[in-house]
């Protein structure tokens, strides 16, 4: 299955956190096909926290969505992500954005991710690596969603990732 994942970090060595998360995803069976540049992004909901580094990955994995979610949560735990306030600071955050053209909603997992179509910190890196991918519910391409985004938060390209 092809997945698109969002990585974010705003605590500790943010760049090393993204690198470690990519490595652990690969070791867990999520092979990286494409990786966006790394972007420094302004916090959206809770503005009183450090800026994030964000990245979007296209991965191939034999894991089903619940298993990939368990892998993501185990990586967050291994990297000492401590749950604080919702949308607060974190060493690493791994979100499943899309899984092929699957639409899934249960109490543990919603695909497509319910807020990504309104978040520049996801849309900008996502449109870099997969601008023509279509949102399976909204029917718009990632490029179209990025151009129409209501989010005014800043997203600044930092460097290109060599996955």
Kindly list the domain boundaries of the chain, sorted by start residue.
2-159
Residue-level pLDDT at 17: 97
Residue-level pLDDT at 147: 97
Render pLDDT for 93-123 as a digit per residue (tens, 0 to 9): 999 999 999 999 999 999 999 999 999 999 9
Residue-level pLDDT at 48: 84
Rounded mean pLDDT, 121-147: 98
Q: Where are the alpha helices (DSSP H) in the chain?
A: 14-27, 65-78, 120-129, 142-147
Rounded Cα distance between 38 and 55, Å, is 5
CATH number of 2-159: 3.30.70.560
Is pLDDT at 82 greater than 90 in this prediction? no
Render pLDDT for 18-45 as a digit per residue (tens, 0 to 9): 999 999 999 999 999 999 999 999 998 7
Q: Beta strands of the chain (E only): which ranges? A: 2-9, 31-35, 38-41, 52-60, 93-99, 104-105, 110-111, 155-159
Name which residue leads in pLDDT, 16 or 161. Answer: 16
Is pLDDT at 51 greater than 70 in this prediction? yes
Rounded Cα distance between 42 and 57, Å, is 20
- HSE on the CB side for 68, CA within 13 Å? 27
Is pLDDT at 46 greater than 90 in this prediction? no
Whole-angstrom Cα Rg for the chain: 14
Is pLDDT at 162 greater than 60 in this prediction? no
């Amino acid at each position: 299955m092809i997945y698109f994942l969002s990585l974010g970090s705003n605590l500790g060595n943010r760049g090393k956190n993204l690198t470690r998360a990519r490595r652990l995803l690969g070791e867990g069976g999520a092979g990286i096909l494409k990786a966006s540049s790394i972007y420094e992004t302004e916090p959206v909901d809770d503005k009183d926290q450090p800026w994030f580094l964000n990245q979007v990955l296209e991965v191939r994995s034999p894991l089903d969505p619940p298993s990939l979610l368990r892998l993501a949560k185990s990586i967050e735990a291994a990297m000492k992500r401590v749950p604080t306030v919702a949308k607060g600071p974190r060493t690493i955050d791994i979100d499943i954005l899309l899984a092929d053209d699957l639409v899934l909603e249960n109490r543990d997992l919603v695909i497509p991710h319910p807020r990504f179509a309104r978040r520049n910190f996801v849309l900008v890196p996502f449109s870099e690596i997969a601008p023509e991918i279509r949102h399976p519910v909204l029917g718009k391409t990632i490029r179209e969603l990025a151009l129409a985004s209501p989010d005014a938060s800043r997203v600044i390209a930092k460097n290109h990732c060599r996955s």
